[in-house]
Amino acid sequence: MEVRLLYPNEIPPMDLLLLADPSRELVEAYLQRGTCFVAEMDGQMIGVYVLLELTAETVEIVNVAVAEQYQGKGLGKQLVNHAIRHAKSLGYVTIEIGTGNSGIGQLALYQKCGFRITAIDQDFFTRNYPEAIYENGIQCRDMIRLSQTIGIK
């Protein structure tokens, strides 16, 4: 798998981006403000993440996703670790990520990549999404915020 920047003239892989966030509006806003990376295998886009600057010292990984047929093979972990390395190389001090309370696999993955839970944005999903979201039989209501220190101030 090769991870690279999405070229400015390329169409972002919306099908993959929407796996991570059902709101096309939010995805498009992230794409406007952030930097999109894609993962390719045999010339096909199979993964994506967007890195979004929050402050001069902090970035957030948003919209990390792997195509369904490639999930569970370690590629998500490679993408998250790529984002951490890239953010570190740019001199950021903190990297953040958020996921829903129902995202059991995501919470496992992010903690395995060194993130720790720092906050909970209660009712984030019920406030921001018109339709109820269910995952693992749990309603997704709250945003679990995770972060890790990757540099020195």
Give me the least distance between CB of 91 and ligand COA, in Å please. Answer: 25
Nearest residue (CB) to ligand COA, 83 versus 150: 83
Give me the least distance between CB of 13 and ligand COA, in Å please. Answer: 12
Residues 6+ apart with CB under 8 A from 39: 1, 2, 3, 45, 46, 47, 48, 66, 75, 78, 79
Nearest residue (CB) to ligand COA, 20 versus 38: 20
Using the structure block, give the residue that is written with the tokens 């369904």: 68
Give me the least distance between CB of 152 and ligand COA, in Å please. Answer: 28
Nearest residue (CB) to ligand COA, 71 versus 151: 71
Nearest residue (CB) to ligand COA, 143 versus 150: 143
Give me the least distance between CB of 19 and ligand COA, in Å please. Answer: 4
Which residue of this chain has its Cβ atom nearest to ligand COA in the complex? Answer: 76
The residues that touch ligand COA, with contacts defined as CB under 6 A, are 19-20, 64-66, 71-77, 99, 103-106, 108-109, 112
Spatial separation of the C-alpha atoms in residues 133 and 129, rounded to whole Å = 8
Please state the φ and ψ torsions of residue 34, each to the nearest 5 degrees: -110, -175
Positive or negative, the Cα torsion across 80, 13, 62, 108?
A: negative
What tokens appear for 26 in the block? 């939010």
Question: What is the signed CA dihedral for 75, 101, 50, 89, rounded to 10 degrees?
Answer: -80
Nearest residue (CB) to ligand COA, 9 versus 69: 69
